[in-house]
Amino acid sequence: MENFIVSARKYRPHDFKSVVGQQSITVTLKNSIKTKQLAHAYLFCGPRGVGKTTCARIFAKTINCSNLSADFEACNECESCKAFNENRSYNIHELDAASNNSVEDIRNLIEQVRIPPQIGTHSVYIIDEVHMLSSQAFNAFLKTLEEPPDYAIFVLATTEKHKIIPTILSRCQIFDFNRIKVEDSVNYLSWVAEQENVEADKDALNIIAQKADGAMRDALSFFDQIVSFTGKKITYQAAIDNLNVLDYDYYFKLTNALTENNISDSLLIFNDILNKGFDGHHFISGLSSHLRDLMVCKDEETVELIEVGSGIKQKYIEQSRKTDILFLLRALDISNQTDLSYKASKNKRLQVELALMKICEITKEAKKKTENINQDSHPEAKLSVSQEQKTEYKKEQSKEIQNEAPKIIQRKSRISINGNNSKTEEKTEQNDTDIAVSETNKELVSIKKAWEEILEKFEQKPRLYNALKSEKLVMTGETLAELTVMNKSLEQALIPVKSKIISFLRNRTGISDLNIIFKLSDDNSENNEEYLYTDRDKFQYLVKKNPSLDKLKKDFDLDY
């Protein structure tokens, strides 16, 4: 029986040009060989299965090749290359730091470094998972790493660069390996399928590549797994069944239900997914990815950002055209928040179901707004609503005018002063700031004329009228007017009726967003005591002349 070799080993690259998805790194390494500018230490870091150790081996073989090709690839024919390919080379040494991480292991390595190469020009030491070395081992390795013999080159490989001490990093040339793109993985898997005489569906290979998450070794392992199940044919259905991947159709159906505000179907689809063994976190994460892919399909320039097969990509484009961008944004926000809070939730299923209900409500709100807009767009409906709104507006404005300067009728103890005699009397008095400014239907007038009309309203309040009749209301902008007031007291007296005045002016001038600001007069110091508007001002004025009034107020707990 023929020994089976897994695809990850069988189709492991043997030269730089066959390395997948790391072109920038392979070109740099080849150029360093071409110019003979070889560093004494390299650090290859990146995710698992992206070719770090493979590139280290190819690099070690190539720099010892005695008959390099025109594009500086190993010839695979010289004695050094043959020894490497047959795993009997004494120029290349590999150390697994995960199991050889002590100071003693590093000392043995240092002893080996002293022995020059027997064939070739360099001795290459590849230390895999170097981050697993102990801190003592790192320290023991520092001196040799910094000043090795001319023939010694160290290539360190790790998936966790942050765990390596800075003194090691500073002694190495660092190469960051990227995750392999889905498209590159699919192309390589297609080539492997051809070599193995396996009929593979493009969408199925795409599922394998996505499941591998940028790791070619994982992708080849999944490939072998599905081939073992299906024989010589890999189908889309076989891929999602074997790799425990949610079918895209679930998300397409779910999105249709969500956009149609169909809560029942949404919950039933989620229940069906749970019954197939998928957990809620996997589902909500997949929903976020699906909504994101729909969003990028909105623009032709960003369609290439989704990494799916051509057949499925067309489905995304079609559904994206039917889905509103605002719905996608809000739905994506809800699903993302659910993803973040999923682990902390005690009732995880309810957490996901609430998210689905909230997403359904997005379309419900949108439908209500659309119905209102359609109603307003109908000529008769528009006329009716407009007339009704106009009548309602007049009622509201009339109420506003009446309420903003209400008649404050209070029964209070008043202080009456006649010479040196004082007594209290109860009376009902209307507030000084109460003026009647009613809405008018006269034709529009200028701001000057409107201000004169307001002054007529204040004639019943002599103090206020005399203070304001010499002031002018001046427009300082298209919608802003400025009124100069004598002092702070006058400003305080006008505040209760400010909104009423603004409403009157807007109605008479036709400036719907008119506003007023008060400005204190520059020469208000001379006239500061000439006008007393509020009860408090009057009382304070009298207390200055007769301080005993203040004691009288406090003793009898009197109001102003």
- Tell me the residue type at 158: T
Residue 221 to residues 7, 113, 227, Cα–Cα distance (Å): 7, 36, 10
Cα(292)–Cα(247) distance, rounded to whole angstroms?
Answer: 16
Work out the pLDDT band at 174, boundaries 50, 70, 90: very high
433 Cβ neighbours under 8 A, 6+ residues apart: 405, 464, 493, 494, 496, 497
How far is residue 238's CA from residue 234's CA, in Å, rounded to a whole number? 7
Mean pLDDT confidence for 252-277 = 90
Over residues 127-154, mean pLDDT: 88
Location of each CATH 3.40.50.300 domain in the chain: 7-176
pLDDT beyond 60 at 75? yes
pLDDT value at residue 88: 82
Helix spans in 180-324 (H) = 182-195, 202-212, 216-230, 236-242, 248-259, 263-275, 280-296, 310-322
- The pLDDT confidence band at residue 156, using thresholds 50, 70 and 90, is very high
* Ranges of CATH 3.30.300.180 domains, the chain: 430-554
Residues of the chain with CATH 1.10.8.60: 182-242
At 486, is the secondary structure helix, strand, or coil?
coil
Give the model confidence (pLDDT) of 521-549 as tens digits.
Answer: 765 444 444 455 567 777 787 888 888 88
Residue that is written with structure tokens 């209301």 in the block: 473
- At residue 354, the pLDDT reads 92
- The number of beta carbons lying within 10 Å of the beta carbon of residue 141 is 24
User: How far apart are the C-alpha atoms of 288 and 332, rounded to whole Å?
Assistant: 6
Question: Mean pLDDT in the chain?
Answer: 79
pLDDT of residue 414: 37
Model confidence pLDDT, tens digit, residues 474-496: 888 778 888 887 777 777 777 77
> What pLDDT score does 426 carry?
36
Residue extent(s) of CATH 1.20.272.10 domains in the chain: 248-373
- Segment 427-446 shows an average pLDDT of 49
Examine the pLDDT at 108 and tell me if it is beyond 60. Answer: yes
Who contacts 435 (Cβ-Cβ below 8 Å, separation ≥6)? Answer: 405, 457, 458, 460, 461, 497, 500
Backbone angles phi, psi at 422, to 5 degrees: -135, 145
What's the CA gap between 338 and 471, in Å, rounded?
Answer: 62
Architecture of domain 7-176: 3-Layer(aba) Sandwich (3.40)
Max distance between CA atoms of the chain, in angstroms, equals: 130
Report the C-alpha gap between 296 and 299 in whole angstroms: 6
Higher pLDDT, 487 or 324: 324
| Model pLDDT, residue 532 | 55
Fold of 430-554: GMP Synthetase; Chain A, domain 3 (3.30.300)
Q: Name the E strands within 488-548.
A: 515-520
Separation between Cα atoms, residue 520 and residue 248, nearest integer Å: 70
d(CA 297, CA 410): 69
CA 446/CA 15 separation, integer angstroms: 88
pTM beyond 0.85: the answer is no
Q: List the single range of 33-37, 141-145, 234-238, 453-457 with lowest mean pLDDT.
A: 453-457
If you classify domain 182-242 with CATH, what class do you get?
mainly alpha
Both tokens of residue 194?
A: 């051809």
In this prediction, residue 404 carries a pLDDT of 42
Whole-number pLDDT of residue 542:
84
With beta carbons less than 8 A apart as the criterion, state whether 62 and 36 touch. no
**329, two tokens:** 């944004």
Contact present, 336 and 288 (Cβ < 8 Å) = yes
The CATH number of the domain covering residues in 248-373: 1.20.272.10
pLDDT of amino acid 370: 60
Of residues 401 and 493, more confidently modeled: 493
Residues near 456 by beta carbon (within 8 Å), at least 6 away in sequence: none
pLDDT, position 527: 45
286-290, 387-391, 438-442: which range is least confident on average? 438-442
The segment with the largest mean pLDDT, out of 237-246, 329-338, 364-373, is: 329-338
**Stretch 32-46: mean pLDDT:** 90
Alpha helices in 405-446 (DSSP H): none
